[in-house]
């Protein structure tokens, strides 16, 4: 499968590595290719510059957002939450038509520093905003409540973590679930339509704030049924 990934940060790179390892083709999208490659500084959370990562991942293509939206049969939106719609606009919204768009973003308010606060609003989650912006695409909210290394390799000693999904299109959610099961996910919950993205994003912040406050990035929630 051809996978397009918006966002050159840790989330996009981790997804790219896993898809390449599984034999897929991957293009990562950025606003400005030259600028992305010229950068020699780590990002805010210490992720090394892109060019360094690329040296070890030469089969991952780097393109513009438009290239990447064209390329991908399945497209991940893994930019900062605040710029997700803008990145989509730069690509051209028609390029997403009839494609599965997986939104991994979270609405982070960093104005108060670390840990980030929640910048979302009921009925206006990033998942819902992206679906409204792309009415011809099948948006699935997923993978936003976990460390990415756990997303692509959900093996925990203490139990079986739970993967939450939301979206309006049942078939699209089934396809995302298939991808997740290929990575080892055993417990996948379809929460309902894209409106549930609000609760996933708010819960993600609980997870993220715990992470910063406890310097832990190896934790994940599980759902006990009985």
Q: Is there binding between residue 149 and its own copies (CB under 8 A)?
A: no
CB of 152 to its own copies, least distance (A): 16
Residues 6+ apart with CB under 8 A from 6: 12, 28, 29, 65, 68, 69, 75, 76, 77, 78, 79, 84, 87, 88, 91
Q: Is there binding between residue 33 and its own copies (CB under 8 A)?
A: no
User: x/- string (CB under 8 A) for its own copies, residues 192-221?
Assistant: x---x-xxx-xx-xx--xx--x--x-xxxx
Q: Is there binding between residue 38 and its own copies (CB under 8 A)?
A: no
Closest to its own copies by CB, 57 vs 203, is 203
CB of 155 to its own copies, least distance (A): 10
CB of 40 to its own copies, least distance (A): 34
Q: Is there binding between residue 70 and its own copies (CB under 8 A)?
A: no
Q: How far apart are CA 174 and CA 163, in angstroms?
A: 13
Q: Is there binding between residue 136 and its own copies (CB under 8 A)?
A: no
- Laid out side by side, the sheet with 162-167 consists of 61-64, 25-30, 2-6, 74-77, 100-103, 138-142, 162-167, 187-190
Q: Is there binding between residue 168 and its own copies (CB under 8 A)?
A: no
Which residue, chain included where needed, has tokens 């028609």? 94
Point out which residues bind its own copies (CB under 8 A): 109, 117-119, 122, 156-159, 161, 189, 191-192, 196, 198-200, 202-203, 205-206, 209-210, 213, 216, 218-226
């Amino acid at each position: 499968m051809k996978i397009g990934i918006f966002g050159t940060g840790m989330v996009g790179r981790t997804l790219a590595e896993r898809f390449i390892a599984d034999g897929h083709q991957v293009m990562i999208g950025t606003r400005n290719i030259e600028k992305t490659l010229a950068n020699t500084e780590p990002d805010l959370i210490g992720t090394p510059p892109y060019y360094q990562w690329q040296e070890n991942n030469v089969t991952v293509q780097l393109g513009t957002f438009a290239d990447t939206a064209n390329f991908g049969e399945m497209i991940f939106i893994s930019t900062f939450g605040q710029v997700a719609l803008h990145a989509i606009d730069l690509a051209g919204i028609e390029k997403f038509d009839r494609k599965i768009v997986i939104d991994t973003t979270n609405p982070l308010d960093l104005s108060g520093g670390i840990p980030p606060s929640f910048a979302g609003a009921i009925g206006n989650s990033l998942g819902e905003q992206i679906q409204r912006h792309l009415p011809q695409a099948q948006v699935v909210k997923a993978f936003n409540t976990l460390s990415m290394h756990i997303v692509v390799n959900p093996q925990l000693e203490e139990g079986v973590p739970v993967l939450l999904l939301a979206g309006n299109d049942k078939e699209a959610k089934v396809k995302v679930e298939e991808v997740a099961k290929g990575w080892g996910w055993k417990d996948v919950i379809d929460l309902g339509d894209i409106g549930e993205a609000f609760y996933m994003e708010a819960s993600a912040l609980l997870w993220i704030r715990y992470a910063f406050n406890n310097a832990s990035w190896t934790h994940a929630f599980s759902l006990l049924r009985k």
